[in-house]
Structure 1
Amino acid sequence: MPMSYEQHLDEVTTLITEKYDIADQPAIDMVMRAQADGYFSGHDDHPAICTLDRAHEDARTVFKKYGKGKKAN
């Protein structure tokens, strides 16, 4: 079942903190940078892609691209 765009961003942030042992604020910053770069624009246009499976994929992608140099907690 799809979640709202905002719920999806929250889930991606939570998954980054859990999977990569990153503090909340750096994870939030990564998601905000990805959002500013337009990474999530398709999610806003097509809310049906805002699923838990996609959140896991997005967390990996966002961490890989925007998490460079981030240390674990």
Structure 2
Amino acid sequence: MGMFDHLFPDSYDNSVEGEDYYLSKEGYRVMTESYLVKRGYCCSNGCKHCPYDPKAKKGNRKLRPDVARKYQTP
């Protein structure tokens, strides 16, 4: 269990280390771009891998164009 895991809601319990997040050297859980896209909205916390445009706008669901292309289904 990571240093700050108790701060995350239960929905994080099903996340997979290395796919949905990684632990920083300080013990923080850093959510991946893939996870943030799956979540479907911006939390406005300024996540390192925020895929939304504009970044850090609460409730935003508009993906950056480069991210939208990457996750499009053919």
Greater Rg by CA:
2
TM-score interval for Structure 1 and Structure 2 normalised by the shorter chain: under 0.3
TM (normalized to structure 2)? 0.24
Higher relative contact order (Cα pairs below 8 Å, separated by 6+ residues): 1
Which structure shows the higher helix fraction?
1
